[in-house]
Structure 1
């Protein structure tokens, strides 16, 4: 009877989570459509008066603002520009980000493409958003959630000269990296949503991620241009369209024998603790780059028990997620993801990521870091060190903390000319 009750609760949770995510997807899609319709109507009915004569002379600029470094904002898992998720793999997304900025056709690399079973080449960016990007024209990056890892992987690729045709890249193309709720060391949320804690790669037979996997495969297979113009999951290089793989290709993908979910080249394995350790292994913190991090949390301790920090101050749906992550425990019959793992270290969270994961890269080795408690701690900044600060908030809350670390970034940017969202 007890097992039946537990199973009932699990299916009820799966049903509610599925409905919530469907509504969220509908909200994103409908917002994109409404925005385009509004823009079209505005262009149709609003005709700006172009016969305005400007007589006042503009003062001569004392400096060339075009020489100042831009700030590039990199989305987390739910975005890569308007209407698109971008490649749902941290490695693939880092490659795409390079060509998004420099221009050209995305090259995922021959070795990686063969190992993962997808095309080597992807989207074409006719004109890069910052084609002059190099060591003399570096960039400040601000990464949110998984976007922070995307930027770290990209910087390592630059250091390794991993882009064919670009033999002079280096880690110094990146002036600074600022992380907002960065997913540096994985999250236990992945296990709650369906990743197996045994390996951090495979999926439970019945879970939310299985439903998402099936939905994404069918969506890409149908390949409806009108829909994909508004939302593209970024798996075009896997050629899952019905035009290319037919009905049997669809069956193969659904059975888990082909596609990104079979190869592991999608973002959720990258966000497990085991996957993050593997991803972090070759990544360095470089001595000439400034690193800043905001780690968010929505929990507190009451009599030694970690609970959500507020009932009214947290969105009801996020409250449930914060509570779930606070209560999650690694299965006792499964080997821990790393030596020295303790459940209590991973209880503080913001509903999406664990606070311990967001401070700085710490697995498999801890990178140089410094906790910032007071503004005075930011008076003398040094490159090659992760300065991190704890903030009360959520990964998805949209909160924009403007405290000493961001002020430090702005002072480093010295009046950056542009902010690009990617």
Structure 2
């Protein structure tokens, strides 16, 4: 077994537990949906050169759990777009149909109202027919916003539709409670992250990602970054120079309708003020820490073995804000990942968790933000088996909540 694992890692192929027994029936009644975070992609939409999001090169989390009998999916939604746009896309990914971002929202921010069409993984999704949602990083924020839309709709869209006599998406009408069984978040910046404030908002970083998306938007590339509503895609009849001229005049990064803003302290605060906990849903959160206390001061030091690109962001996190914010996973402060400050939470381990309150799992030390999804190949302390066991235990618990 050890030899086979080593061979797989050397060949850059994620581990798949192919010899796992296939159950005679599905283990879960409600579909389990994994929602990626900022700059993430579903496995079938991953840009060339990037590791798959859920499991990296360590283990194919989704396929392994499918083999073990779980009805589980990777949501394919916008990579760097706003939580609003991503939440709408998540709805249509599950339900199916052409994405409708809303007449009011699209006019306010200046992008197209309609997006791509999804087949839908659960066309019968309706009150009484529930799903489990697991979000990593920004994915947790996206899930919470979708839940809010299902329950309360979007008053601005309702008013705009009435006054302008236009059709409105069923999502924005509200009244759709009892469609989500559980919400689980892993490393989610519920209260924002100082890294987004200090680096993410900088013109240099935004320019880097914008140029990356601009390049990948060429007609010869097939990766979908999820910015179709902003016309960041070269048309078949459009020359490269005309395409560059058009996209460089785009106002995307000059609005708050993007992920860079949503991850800031201010953006997260605005979202939390809008949302509320659902008394009928079970919530659970996981936070990890990849820093440790200095021997000589009260400051935190980043761990050796942290995902290399996060060394700088981890250091920034160790002295940003008050002391309570210093422990972080390289990107997200642990205190921010535990639960929104505006919602009730319990700090204790309990197998059968209650509804209407965040159950905060004790902080997991020695795991960085990429360890949570298997993306840190340099940290050999966390094996493929440890990673899949984490997700296997997680989904086993979700099934218990269906009884």
Residue equivalent to 1:382: 354
Is 2:395 the partner of 1:395?
A: no
Alpha-carbon distance, 1:411 to partner: 1.6
Equivalent residue runs for 1:269-348 within 5 Å: 269-302=261-294, 303-308=296-301, 310-311=303-304, 313-327=305-319, 329=320, 342-348=321-327
1:353 and 2:314 aligned: no
TM-score by length of 1: 0.68
Structure-2 separation of matches of 1:131 and 1:269: 32
Q: Give the TM-score normalised by structure 2.
A: 0.71
Aligned to 1:13: none
Question: Which secondary structure state, in structure 2, belongs to the residue aligned with residue 172 of structure 1?
Answer: coil
Instruction: Say which one has the larger Rg.
Output: 1
The answer (yes or no) to whether the contact 2:284–2:359 under 8 Å persists in 1 is yes
Deviation at 1:73, TM superposition (A): 1.0
CA gap 1:309/1:266 in 2 versus in 1, 3 angstroms: closer
Task: Pick closer, same or farther for the CA change 1:176–1:194 going to 2, 3 Å.
Answer: closer
CA distance in 2, matches of 1:141, 1:319: 30
Q: What's 1:77 paired with?
A: 38
Secondary structure at the aligned position of 2:257 is classed as: coil
Residue 210 (structure 1) shift:
2.0
Q: Contact conserved, 2:302 with 2:311, CA < 8 A, in 1?
A: no
Q: CA deviation at 1:160?
A: 1.7
Which stretches in structure 2 are left out of the alignment for 5+ residues?
1-11, 15-22, 47-75, 155-167, 375-386
Residue 218 of structure 1 and its aligned partner are, at CA, apart by 4.4
| Matched residue count | 318
Distance 1:403 1:262, change over 3 A: same
Match of 1:25 in 2: none
* CA displacement at 1:66 relative to structure 2: 9.4
| Structure 1 runs not aligned, ≥5 long | 1-30, 36-58, 196-202, 330-341, 415-422
1:223 aligns with 2:215: no
1:412 aligns with 2:373: no
Name 1:107's counterpart in structure 2.
100
User: Do the aligned residues in 2 keep the contact of 1:299 with 1:348 (CA within 8 Å)?
Assistant: yes
Give a deviation string over 1:28-82, Cα, whole Å, max 9, x none: xxx8xx99xxxxxxxxxxxxxxxxxxxxxxx9x8xx8598112111111233422
Q: Name the SS of the counterpart of 2:287 in structure 1.
A: strand
Deviation at 1:403, TM superposition (A): 9.6
Superposed CA RMSD in Å reads: 3.0
Q: Distance in 2 between matches of 1:139 and 1:242?
A: 36
Query: 1-side partners of 2:337 and 2:392: how far apart?
Result: 17
Q: Distance in 1 between matches of 2:90 and 2:107?
A: 21
Tell me: CA distance 1:128–1:66, structure 2 relative to 1, closer, same or farther (3 Å). Answer: farther
- 1:250 Cα offset (Å): 4.2
Inter-partner Cα distance in structure 2 for 1:144 and 1:308: 24
Task: Give the corresponding residue for 1:182.
Answer: 188
Which SS does the other structure have where 2:401 is aligned? helix
Match runs of 1:118-129 below 5 Å? 118-125=111-118, 127-129=119-121
Partner SS for 2:299: strand
Q: Which residue is equivalent to 1:138?
A: 130
Out of 396-405 and 186-195, give the one that drifted further.
396-405
SS at 2:226 equivalent: coil
Structure 1, residues 157-177: CA drift from partner, whole Å, max 9, x if none? 101235624657523211110
SS in 2 for 1:281: helix
